[in-house]
Amino acid sequence: MQYTLEKVKFYKDGSFHSGEYSFCTDSIAISSTEMSGGIISKFNNCFVFPAFCDVHVHLREPGFSYKETILTGTKACARGGYTDVFSMPNLNPVPDSVENLKTQLDIINNDAVISVHPYASITIGQKGEELSDFEALKDMCSGFSDDGRGVQNEEMMREAMIKVKKLGKIIVAHCEDNSLLFGGYIHDGEYARLHGHKGICSESEWKPIERDLKLAKEISCKYHVCHISCKESVELIRRAKADGVDVTCETAPHYLVMNDMDLKEDGRFKMNPPIRSEADRLALIEGLKDGTIDMIATDHAPHSAEEKSKGLEKSLMGVVGIETAFSVVYTHLVKTGIITLEKLIEVLSINPRKRFGLPETNDICIFDLDKEYIVNPNEFLSIGRATPFENEKLLGECKLTVCNNKTVYEKL
């Protein structure tokens, strides 16, 4: 059945248009707020966007369903306005073989409420010692990543890029030099010095990026950099793009709106890479504005309450963010005039789909941009509750998400 939304603004051809918006769905509930003629009046004065796409989420299944499941994770994604997400391979079993990846795909096919595109691992067991069978996995995965563990050996990465190029796939790199970590767990900056914490230097991130960019240029491999957090990474990728390297990158909302002096002695502020300095944050914003940073991903990484209750030093790394991503960036960067709403939709929806070969979508999400709410983790659909934005007042609430002509989230 077709429904028409009055007095909405919808995104089309890179800009917004006022008027009516029609779409078909087989499962939108008819409510008493509807007007005659199939008009859903409760969405008046809202914005209709092409549904969002996140190329970096952790759905934790198989292997860690106490942290998150495919079902709970994809319901959380739908609540955030997402209908396409790419799931990371740090699972048990690791998707390094057809058999192991099929285990994950079976759960996705049974339980996911949106479209999930899994990565296979670059190396067997993500141990960095032997490459996975790329040829056998190529038609089952969206790309290859060892997220959570950087590929430490340059020759191993070179061999991976050569094989991936032949298959027309993409390397999705977690860039972290283990030899430069020195037991650190937050940014090696002012907050660490003031509070006696061990720091993670920015070089541990940008040095592997520098290495990989040289390889990607030499091999002409499609290369994507996960969760960049520091100014040096932005500049290296900016230069590589100008030099013709086939590289894209992502950052996450918390890196764009927080610096290390916003930290608190709480595990909900601990993630990898860490929130860095104000200079790094400003460089990321400039990279977002000039197109160096292609997309915003959440690195949605749920853990149990116990695992996140041990402070900055002892808690596991990772925070949730899929349900608040749009609102965080809209509130802090769009409403303040730093970027446009069009730019936000570009980096949340258009660019990730284009880079990872997804077709233009008919999926939509509808947001009330005037709706103000306070972030309450107890209301999350994700099992994970650890967010640095807890109790923050945000603007922009998702009212409806439609995936494959089905309503997968509705705010009643």
- Residues with catalytic roles: 299
B/e letters for 285-313, b = 16+ CB within 10 Å, e = fewer, are bebbeeebbbbbbbbbbbbbeebbeeebe
Residue whose entry in the numeric block shows the structure tokens 């860095």: 276
Rounded Cα–Cα distance for residues 258 and 69 (Å): 28
- Specify whether the CB–CB gap between 10 and 362 falls below 8 A: no
- Specify whether the CB–CB gap between 391 and 383 falls below 8 A: no
- Specify whether the CB–CB gap between 224 and 240 falls below 8 A: no
**Residue 212 CB contacts under 8 Å (≥ 6 apart), including other chains:** 157, 171, 173, 175, 223, 225
Which residue type occupies 293?
A: I
Structure tokens at 123: 């190396």
C-alpha closest to that of 77 among 48, 105, 54: 54
Q: In terms of residues, how long is the chain?
A: 412
